[in-house]
Structure 1
């Protein structure tokens, strides 16, 4: 079968042996797979991923001298089952799954593994217990957005929102847009979002942002402060010592870029008592001044992934039209176009989500 393979630091097209399902597994055809920002980072910083994996006993790091097939945001079609496996869904059924295989040694990731092929290949293996049937005739390229939406849903859930916060979303790529959608669904307003790209700012509005900011023209925290002003009753209810501080509602900041230096910028610009939720995955060593966070009593929450329930909930949100998945897809490519798609995604103004269709 054909696949787009991460080999010697580059994305190349080659053939691989056909995977064979074991007991509890299903062979699937990859219908659609989103190119994740983590895939772009992984190609550039794969050695850092390997180094970090060594801090987690039981996780098997990638061997960068061997082939890796990325692809963990996918929708697939069932082809066949392994021996002694209950056939709970018919061949031809469209499915999504958490990007993991259940093995006797424990769960193993799909997409950043030498052994478990990701969805940039024509076919791959999934674990039957993790399968979710795609409902409502949902298109495969839209169902494939379940995974990135679940990241945003999880980030908002982990933020422990009380109801009085005014959120600020920094970065309106796929993850930031997922956070905005999750905030809107939760009923948190006003939502302030910041991004340099006009196209992504437009998508932020479509996903539910109330205020969008071009940081090249307007400082994000200044725009946030305008919308976070307390009412007269809120001002009057403050303790006397708090009355000396700016009369602003609590700040809830979602960092969705994942680039070095941004956390320090947030420490500098955030108001006192702000909560920062780090959703973007920075794979490089970063530097920040803890004293700033200490003096302002900032809270920093790092988040990763999602739960199985959040993943299933995200699929339902897309299928029921609660999230406009179609607006996020800006291009589709076959296996031969993956390398160029990686290059194209370096320009955030041109694309938001490129979907790989390996069958093309």
Structure 2
């Protein structure tokens, strides 16, 4: 079958063997695949990915000596079941899943070789227990956004967002836009968003941002505090240990760029008592100053 192979930072279409589903796995036909920013980062900074994975998991996530088949954002159709499967979903069902194979040595789908290809291939294998059927009324290309939307949802849940919060989203790429969409769906706002790109700022407005800032000309943090200002004690954030009660609603920040230095900038610029969620991937060395928090 055909697959897009990455090695030494280069992508080429080649032929690989069709994968065989093992126990508890299914063979699927890929219908749609998203291109994640981490795919580009992996191609250009593979050593950085491995440094991070060694620190987190004690292993090298990438085998940089062999071709890698990207693709961890996908929609697929069940083609066949492997052994020891329950087969609750009919063959032909469209599915998404967590991009992982639950094997003795777990495999991160989209970061392995041709023996366990990601969605940049015509076919792949998935763990049956992780399958989620796609509703009939949901278009395939929209369903392919499940994984980045899940990243954004996790980012919100990690900081316990509430309807009374005033959020700032730094970076309006796919993850930042997904964060904005979920904030809007939850009725959280006003939402302040900032990005260097005029096009992405327009996308942010479309997704529901209430205040959109060009950080070259205006301070996102001043806009954030302006949006959070309130005279109503019932709406104010809990008193801080050092500054006491501030005339601000609770503030929560989402760093969605991964740009070096921006997390520290957000820590320094955020109002006292803010919560900050980091959704952007930075593979370079970075520095934060906890005294600014």
Scaled by the length of structure 2, what TM-score is found?
A: 0.91
Distance 1:240 1:10 in 2: 51
- SS of 1:121 mapped into structure 2: coil
Matches of 2:107 and 2:132, distance apart in 1: 18
Which residue matches 1:20? 20
Distance 1:240 1:195 in 2: 29
1:311 — aligned with what?
none
Partner of residue 119, structure 1 = 119
* Residues 168-190 of structure 1 deviation map (CA, whole Å, 9 limit, x = unaligned): 01111110111111112222111
CA distance in 1, matches of 2:95, 2:77: 6
Matched, 1:264 2:264: yes
Q: Deviations over 1:224-283 (max 9, x none)?
A: 122111124459998799888762223211000011111121133222222211111111
SS in 2 for 1:96: strand
The answer on whether the counterparts of 2:76 and 2:95 sit within 8 Å (CA) in structure 1 is yes
Indicate how the Cα distance of structure 1 residues 235 and 132 shifts in structure 2: closer, same or farther if over 3 A, else same: closer
1:182 aligns with 2:182: yes
The 3 A distance-change label for structure 1 pair 162 and 236 is closer
Aligned-pair distance for 1:149?
A: 0.5
Write out aligned runs for 1:129-208 (5 A): 129-208=129-208
Q: Summarize the Cα distance change of 1:235–1:202 in structure 2 as closer, same or farther, 3 Å threshold.
A: closer
Q: Distance in 1 between matches of 2:129 and 2:219?
A: 47
Q: Which residues of structure 1 form unaligned runs of 5+?
A: 294-360
Cα 1:233–1:89, aligned 2, differ >3 Å: closer, same or farther?
Answer: closer
CA contact (8 A) 1:134 1:143 kept: yes
2:51, 2:60 within 8 Å by CA — same for their partners in 1? no
Asked whether 1:221 is paired with 2:206, we answer no
What's the offset of the Cα at 1:164?
A: 3.1
* CA deviations over 1:320-340 (Å, ceiling 9, x no partner): xxxxxxxxxxxxxxxxxxxxx
Bigger fraction of residues in helix: 1
| Distance (Å, rounded) in 2 between the aligned partners of 1:49 and 1:241 | 38
TM-score, normalized by length of structure 1? 0.75
Deviation at 1:199, TM superposition (A): 2.1
| In structure 2, C-alpha distance between the alignment counterparts of 1:162 and 1:119, rounded to whole Å | 35
Q: Deviations over 1:293-340 (max 9, x none)?
A: 2xxxxxxxxxxxxxxxxxxxxxxxxxxxxxxxxxxxxxxxxxxxxxxx
Distance 1:31 1:87 in 2: 20
Which sits farther off after the overlay, 239-248 or 208-217?
Answer: 239-248
1:210 pairs with 2:210: yes
Q: Check conservation: 1:93, 1:133, Cα contact below 8 A.
A: yes
| 1:287 equivalenced with 2:287 (yes/no) | yes
Question: How many pairs does the alignment contain?
Answer: 292
Structure 1 equivalent of residue 54 of structure 2: 54
- Cα–Cα, structure 1 residues 244 and 8, in superposed 2: closer, same or farther, change >3 Å? closer
Bigger relative contact order, structure 1 or 2 (CA pairs below 8 A, ≥6 apart):
1
Q: CA RMSD in A?
A: 2.4
Q: Is the 8 A contact 2:237 2:248 kept in 1?
A: no
| Cα pair 1:111 1:119 within 8 Å, conserved | yes
Structure 1 stretches of 4+ with a deviation exceeding 3 A read 56-60, 232-246
- Which ranges of structure 2 fall in alignment gaps of 5 or more residues? none
CA distance in 1, matches of 2:211, 2:202: 11
Alpha-carbon distance, 1:132 to partner: 1.2
Structure 1 CA distance, aligned partners of 2:288 and 2:32?
A: 39
Note closer, same or farther for the CA distance 1:274–1:20 as it changes in structure 2 (3 Å cut). same
